[in-house]
Structure 1
């Protein structure tokens, strides 16, 4: 009797990517021949030992379709997958701000009342840190729709992206959550990426951690840590943290939980280099998708100086794995001050390198959320806005709409007597200000901060001072770990951070 096993992504109610070759794979025993059909296209699968692989023709968008797998010469299908939709699928990847559950969003009470859109499909990859790990993850490993029980623990930015995009493009939209809180980018990369400088530092630090204690002790402590991590008591305690606490309550929480068991960096930790690439990402590839949504960087602040190389290499790694030049739509880190003993001091450098990637890597596009930060929380609660901006970016960069979809970027400064004029791209008809003064803008001449007498806005910002000498002028905008940005373009996208010396 034949036995066929497919990756979890293949289930009733699933989505497939339109306009790309459809790929089906898995394992089979007890069969010499497999035929796979979809939309009147039937193809023979290649069988090698116990594994099989099949490519089906590209298809247009559609709903209510069926994929069937036939064994040997049998006329009835051995496997039938029903209620398939075909449209555009995106992977929502990164760390906790992408993982961030919809139920924690600032708008959750309103979101719950929205009418269900059956053309939005979601799937959460199981968060497995090491091969053989057993975890109860009822909200993961299955396709679902809005208002299903898995919905409230799905990625808020990923869901918002789909909710914003689907009515515009008019075809089903799927989002696959493949993310995990706290993970550095190196966890999502192939091990070979660390062979050369400067990324070899991740391999060296990991090997140093492995040598810090015997392997058996690392395993025992890690299993104790996972038992605590997955316990009901910890999940309830952590849920209160994710809804948001002030600094005083956070310090009390840290003291109360100081002795909690922890997973040690090693073979059982989801932070380890290449760990989640092996246990999560590779299990998803080569499932065809339209592109990637990426929100990560907080855990790389300790290596901010090489984040552009890290992120660029990761993008190249994913594209190689999929054999597809997937577009990456990513989020520049929000303003942040302090949370659980961590601070945002390394964020300005990460933001600089994120913007560098958006300029140097083809098909990598960035949104700014410099107006959405929170001083006492690393997790800004307005995630719906994040998804909306990603969708706007997709419409402009992937779907080719002629719309304003990027934040204003500083171009140049010019001096005219006692005036300083700042020029920007992507302003639309005019820049706009929420408030009475431009926040997060600092001007130095010599050692003295120059007070702005008046300012005016159009597609540029004109600053008037009591006087300006001929000395160089240093300009900084939103360059702190935490800051407040209230200067926007016509599409209400915030001006990106910049610094420059005007001679």
Structure 2
């Protein structure tokens, strides 16, 4: 009897991407040919070395379909997938702020009472760090709906994106969670992207970590650490941390967990270069999708000055793997002060690199969440807003709606007597502030802070400095690791960080 084995992404209740060729592949034993029937098309493929690959013509959005797989011309299907939807699929990728479970979101008590939208389906890729790793991951490896048991531990930004975009585009929406807390971008890239400077630094650091290491000792310590990581005791302790703790409680938490097994860098670590690209991403490709939602960069703060090159290379790597110019919508790092034993002092450099990617890499867009940060937590709790802003950006950049979907960005400034006029893009009809004065705005002349006498806001920002002397005016906005941005455009999107030097003739 023939046996068919498909990748986990192919299951009952799944979504396939509309308006793109539908790619189906898998293993087939004791048969020479498979025929796949879907939405009126029947496409056959030969089985070579126990594997098959098939492409079905693109379809329009639909619900309630089924995929049937036949072997050797038999009339009855060997395998049937039921309740298949056709719509738009996005990969929700990155590290812990994308992985961040829905149950930890500030709006969870509101969200969990929402009426179920059966046009939304979700899937979590298995988080596997090394070949042969066995983990009990009940919330991974299956398609599910709102209010199913996997739902509360799904990506909060990914789900809230789906919830916001689905009614607007009126087709089924699928979100595939392919993310893992703490992971640097290099873990999600093919090794061929890490051979030349400056990105070769990631391979060099990995090789340096292994240079004097004992491989047997690394294996033993890694297995102990993974057993602890997957233990019920650790999961309960970590859940308390993710809900949020003040600095004092965090210090106590670190003392109580100081003796926990530590995962050493090496071939069993999920942070190692290219590891998750090989074990998670390549398991998913080339399953067609509409685009990628990306929230990552915290773990690259140590190399923030090259993050634009790192992230640009990652985007090219993923597009090459899918053979598709996938849109990438991503999140600029939120303000952050201190959490556990790390801090946000290097975040401004990463944010600048992220802006360079948005400005220079086609098919990308960035949302700002500079109003949502938390000083004592690297994980802002308002992920609903993150998902909604990504959805707004998708409506404008991917679906072509004529809407205000981007944050205000500084363009130019000029002097007008004792006034400084700052012009921004993406303002809509007005800029406004929440509160009495603009926060995180620093103005200097000759290195000396200047007092702002008056502010006026319309589509521009006008600042009175009385008297305004001839020296260049140096302006910094939201350039700290942690800050509170309260300057918004008409769509309630916060202004992006910027620096400017305004000479006598303006800039």
Q: TM-score, normalised by structure 2?
A: 0.99
Measure, in 2, the Cα distance between the counterparts of 1:212 and 1:188. 26
Q: Helix, strand or coil for the counterpart of 1:479?
A: coil
Measure, in 1, the Cα distance between the counterparts of 2:48 and 2:348. 50
Which residue does the alignment assign to 1:188?
A: 188
Which residue does the alignment assign to 1:245?
A: 245
Aligned pairs for 1:25-44 within 5 A = 25-44=25-44
Which residue does the alignment assign to 2:236?
A: 236
Measure, in 2, the Cα distance between the counterparts of 1:27 and 1:39. 22
Which residue does the alignment assign to 1:376?
A: 376
Contact 2:32 2:46 in 1 (8 A): no
Which residue does the alignment assign to 1:288?
A: 288
CA deviations over 1:420-443 (Å, ceiling 9, x no partner) = 111000000000110000000000
Aligned pairs for 1:99-248 within 5 A = 99-248=99-248
Which residue does the alignment assign to 1:341?
A: 341
Displacement, 1:338? Answer: 0.2
Displacement, 1:445? Answer: 0.4
Which residue does the alignment assign to 1:92?
A: 92
Which residue does the alignment assign to 1:498?
A: 498
Measure, in 1, the Cα distance between the counterparts of 2:112 and 2:58. 36
Displacement, 1:47? Answer: 2.2
Q: Helix, strand or coil for the counterpart of 1:299?
A: helix
Aligned pairs for 1:8-87 within 5 A = 8-87=8-87
CA deviations over 1:54-107 (Å, ceiling 9, x no partner) = 000100000000100000021000000000000000000000000000000000
Displacement, 1:447? Answer: 2.4
Measure, in 1, the Cα distance between the counterparts of 2:46 and 2:422. 61
Moved over 4 A (4+): none
CA deviations over 1:1-48 (Å, ceiling 9, x no partner) = 111110000000000000000000011110011100100100011322
Measure, in 2, the Cα distance between the counterparts of 1:111 and 1:364. 29
Which residue does the alignment assign to 1:297?
A: 297
Measure, in 1, the Cα distance between the counterparts of 2:379 and 2:136. 25
Which residue does the alignment assign to 1:327?
A: 327
CA deviations over 1:458-498 (Å, ceiling 9, x no partner) = 00000012211100110000000000000000000000000
1:462 corresponds to 2:462: yes
Measure, in 2, the Cα distance between the counterparts of 1:190 and 1:231. 31
Displacement, 1:212? Answer: 2.9
Q: Helix, strand or coil for the counterpart of 1:8?
A: coil
Tell me, which stretches of 5 or more residues in structure 2 are unaligned?
none
Measure, in 1, the Cα distance between the counterparts of 2:47 and 2:485. 57
Measure, in 1, the Cα distance between the counterparts of 2:330 and 2:35. 39
Which residue does the alignment assign to 1:435?
A: 435
Measure, in 2, the Cα distance between the counterparts of 1:247 and 1:265. 28
Measure, in 1, the Cα distance between the counterparts of 2:494 and 2:311. 23
Displacement, 1:395? Answer: 0.1
> How many residues in Structure 1 have an aligned counterpart in Structure 2?
503
1:452 corresponds to 2:452: yes
Tell me, which stretches of 5 or more residues in structure 1 are unaligned?
none
Aligned pairs for 1:372-451 within 5 A = 372-451=372-451
Q: TM-score, normalised by structure 1?
A: 0.99
Measure, in 2, the Cα distance between the counterparts of 1:362 and 1:375. 33
Contact 2:91 2:176 in 1 (8 A): yes
CA deviations over 1:326-381 (Å, ceiling 9, x no partner) = 00000000000000110001100000000000011000100000000000000000
1:482 corresponds to 2:482: yes
Measure, in 1, the Cα distance between the counterparts of 2:89 and 2:194. 30
Which residue does the alignment assign to 2:5?
A: 5
Which residue does the alignment assign to 1:309?
A: 309
Displacement, 1:216? Answer: 0.6
Which residue does the alignment assign to 2:263?
A: 263
Cα RMSD, aligned residues only: 0.6
Measure, in 1, the Cα distance between the counterparts of 2:43 and 2:209. 49
